[in-house]
Each structure stands twice: as structure tokens, then as C-alpha cells.
Structure 1
């Protein structure tokens, strides 16, 4: 059913499943001493919790691990499907791409991308998340991917607290830029105007190539409340909504209705030399 490759299943077993199952608190069907209902409602909070704060006897690390156990696998499946469908029929176009994963969590889109690409293309990945506990686990999982050889030797991976703090280096020419927004807009705390502003500023700093923004979210009505405003602001920023669809996603352990969208902004074809070299 799923397109997850054996190395990814083994990585999840080693780094996420076994440490939780073998924890001394995981007894009588619980995980770290808590039943799944409480974990979903309180420890994870629908994926929108403050993961840098402890809750009762669970540490921030505990909460992030539980998120990775219960939530991450399905999101990886959805993103594998999206990368297969929207981006990577031709791997050549992805060489030296810049990927900015906004709300990256524990390297979710990074794992999906590595599953699809392996070492066939070199790219640079910037994970962005406000939770330090998420970024710590993300770093560990990225190191495991490199250890098993599923990154190209030239692939670069780094993690950051905000898009604006990232240094992208000298402007690039024709290489693609990809922003991934997976379930980010499900949070009512997201400032859509600020988010689109960050995306547009980063796009301008990265270079002249085509920019792609991939949005994925639950198709539940409440989860999509922020989408109309986001779409409007993206179009104002020069993007075109290329794909928008809702589908019953079957290629996972628990099928669900998913809302996908893809925004494109074409490469810059005319520019002043002084502007590019600035």
C-alpha cells in the first residue's frame, strides 16, 4: 500500500518506535505511561501544541517523540505522494534545488523527499520550526538518513527557527526553489500575511529560478479556514495557483481526505546585472 522504502521503516523503528515501546513507562498498552486518547488530546494537541513545554510528567522530548510516533508516518506518506505527483517525474529539474520546509517538525518532509529522491539529486534543505525540541529530533533523523546513504554527498541540511534568519548565500540563477507547507495552515495562530511576506522575501534572496509552493492539509472544513486568505495573498505576491484538489488519500495505513495545492511563480527572465550581483 505505502511507498515508504525499507530504510525509512527501519529508521522509524530504530529512532522512534523502539525507544518508546521499550521505555519503562510504556506498560499495559500505554506509550510513555499514557493512553493514545490522552496523547492525541493533550500531549500532541492535534499537532499544534507548544512542544517546548513539558506537560505533567512528559518532557518536551517525550512530546516530540509521541508526535513522531502517532502523527508523522501518515504525513510522510502524504508528502511522498505529493512529491511523486507534482515534482519529481524528472529528477534532473530538481538538481541543486533549494527546499524550505516551513513548520518542518521532526524532519517530516525531509524524510519524504529522501524516500523519493535518495541520492539521485543534490539539493539544499532548510527546515524551519519554532520548537527547539522538534529541531533537535529533526537533526538526529537527518543524521541517520545521511548515515544510511540516502542523501547525495552534496546535499546540505540545516535547521532554523525562522525563514528570515536563514542565510542563503549568493543569489542563484536557474535552480528551482521549493517551499513546503504541510499542515502549517491548520493552526489558527499562523499569521498568513507574515508567512507570505517571509516566503516572498526568501524567494527574492535565493535567486532567479522558478519558485514552487506545496501546500498540504486535512480536507476538514475547519482545518482549511486559513486557505482562502493564503491563496489571495500568494496571488498578490505573483504566484499562480496551478493545482488545487481534494482527494481521498489511500496510500497509507489510515486513509483520509487531503487538500493539496501547488503555487508556481515563474523564473525571472529579465533583470539588471547590478541587481543580481548586489
Structure 2
């Protein structure tokens, strides 16, 4: 059973479900005037849509809200399970830099807050190409903070591109944690570019170890890019510590999920230019 904290479901109900159900367009069992099948196919496009565009009478925010309603809950459960299974030592998150590529509406951030809460101080950088996703993610993160479920020193920010983020002065031994949840399910992702961005960002953040948590559907078509991703990660100095498929049953239906954990050891050589006298 997924260990959801008591604040999580009421928060999602208040900020996601209730506004949609109470919208004047939601009549005759529809959500914002649309049937579920149409929503999945057109409004959220399997999670790979351009959410910054209007579609019929649905605004970008409407589409993001529908995505959060239909997709987010199951993905939160999977990520809570993955955090509990693969990153059991919460000390890894103390002073860590967390980089969530393809963050959507703060999905992995909610799972992380559920698991870690205010017991660790970390920096979270969410990256999503859609401004509408980033905007709603900021609202959800602000609500989690208002509920007291984050240490007041934890920093959260959202960005459209990883290469332009200012991570500040390079850190020493602190861990960098990347999260890739369902990102490789998209056939628009260039795996070469993705791994290069991960490599560059990791080195810009600091000299400590880097951990990458990958989750995805286990469907063959969803993980078709994984073999190439794995090879490029290994070429970049990462070791695949765990890779498995399993049936995840703690949600509305049974789903086969695929997850992996990569680790790159700390950099042992410090450039002379980074010493301060």
C-alpha cells in the first residue's frame, strides 16, 4: 500500500478535483464539457501534448488541470513507491540538488514532499517546456509549503530549459538527484541531447555523487529508447545499479512499471581555479 501522507489527497482534491467538478462546463458527467476519451486523446495527448496551446474552448490552464486530474495521482503513487524502494536513506536528500526533468505539475515534487517532508533541506529544480505546467506546479508547491510540509529552507523553482539554470557556485560533496519520470515515453525526446544535458548539469552543480531515478511504463513502445539511454549514461560515467519491471497495484488499476537507478561517483579532482585563498 502506498504510504500517502494525510495532507496529499485533500490538497489535490481542493486544488484540482473540486475546481474542475464545480466548473460550469462540467455537466452530464463531463469534465470541463469534455468526455474522458476526448480528453485523453486530444486535451492531454497521453501526457505529450503542447500544453501552452488552446484546444477548442480549453485554455492552457484547463489542459494542465485535466492532466493533473487524470494522470498525476497514479504517477505520484508510482514515484512514492520508487522513492521508498530505491532511495530508502533519506539522508541522501539532505542538502541535495534535485533536478526533475519533465516535471509536469510538480508530480515528483509532491511524491518527494510526501516521502521526505520537512526532514531534509534540499534544492528542487523542476524543468518543463510548458509555461502553463510550470505555473500550476508553482501553485502546488506553494500550497505544500503553506501546509508546512517543506522545511522553510528548501528552495523550489521551475524552468523551461535546464542549460540556462544558474545553480550557483559549484558544490562539494552534496548529492545531485535527477528524476526522469515517463520522460522517455515521449517519442519527441532526443536521447543524445537529454543525456548530454544531464551530464552538463551534473558537472555544473558540483563535485559530489550523482543519482538518477528513472520511472516509466513497462510497455515495449514506451521504453523503446531505454537501451540507447542506458548506453549513453554508461558512456557518461554512470553505473546502472538497479533496473527492473514490476506490477504496480496500488492505484486504480494494475500497471506494469519499469524503473532504474543510476549512480555516478563523486569527482575526485578539483580544478585549481575553484580553490579560494
Fold equivalence (TM over 0.5): yes
Q: Distance in 2 between matches of 1:274 and 1:79?
A: 39
Q: Distance in 2 between matches of 1:22 and 1:75?
A: 24
Q: Which residue of 1 aligns with 2:113?
A: 114
Which blocks of at least 5 consecutive residues in structure 1 are unaligned?
A: none
What are the superposed Cα offsets for residues 121-151 of structure 1, whole Å, 9 maximum, x if unpaired?
Answer: 0000000000001001000000000000000
* 1:10 to partner: Cα distance: 1.1
What are the superposed Cα offsets for residues 12-38 of structure 1, whole Å, 9 maximum, x if unpaired?
Answer: 011000000000011111000011111
* 1:91 to partner: Cα distance: 2.0
What are the superposed Cα offsets for residues 60-103 of structure 1, whole Å, 9 maximum, x if unpaired?
Answer: 1111000000000000000001111111x222232100000000
Secondary structure at the aligned position of 2:7 is classed as helix
Q: Which residue of 2 aligns with 1:68?
A: 68
On the 8 A contact 1:74/1:254 being kept in 2, the answer is no
Q: Distance in 2 between matches of 1:205 and 1:90?
A: 25
Structure 2 residue 127 is matched with structure 1 residue 156: no
Q: Which residue of 2 aligns with 1:3?
A: 3
What are the superposed Cα offsets for residues 184-233 of structure 1, whole Å, 9 maximum, x if unpaired?
Answer: 01111101111111100011111111101111100000001111111111
TM-score normalised to the size of structure 1? 0.97
On the 8 A contact 2:2/2:81 being kept in 1, the answer is no
Structure 2 residue 265 is matched with structure 1 residue 273: no
Secondary structure at the aligned position of 2:222 is classed as helix
Q: Distance in 2 between matches of 1:273 and 1:198?
A: 25
Secondary structure at the aligned position of 1:222 is classed as coil
Q: Distance in 2 between matches of 1:112 and 1:273?
A: 39
Q: Which residue of 2 aligns with 1:246?
A: 245
The number of residue pairs the alignment matches comes to 276
Q: Which residue of 2 aligns with 1:222?
A: 221
What does 1:1-278 align with in structure 2 at a 5 Å threshold?
A: 1-87=1-87, 89-275=88-274
On the 8 A contact 1:3/1:251 being kept in 2, the answer is no
Secondary structure at the aligned position of 2:98 is classed as strand
Secondary structure at the aligned position of 2:18 is classed as helix
Secondary structure at the aligned position of 1:262 is classed as strand
Q: Distance in 2 between matches of 1:204 and 1:27?
A: 51
On the 8 A contact 1:99/1:126 being kept in 2, the answer is yes
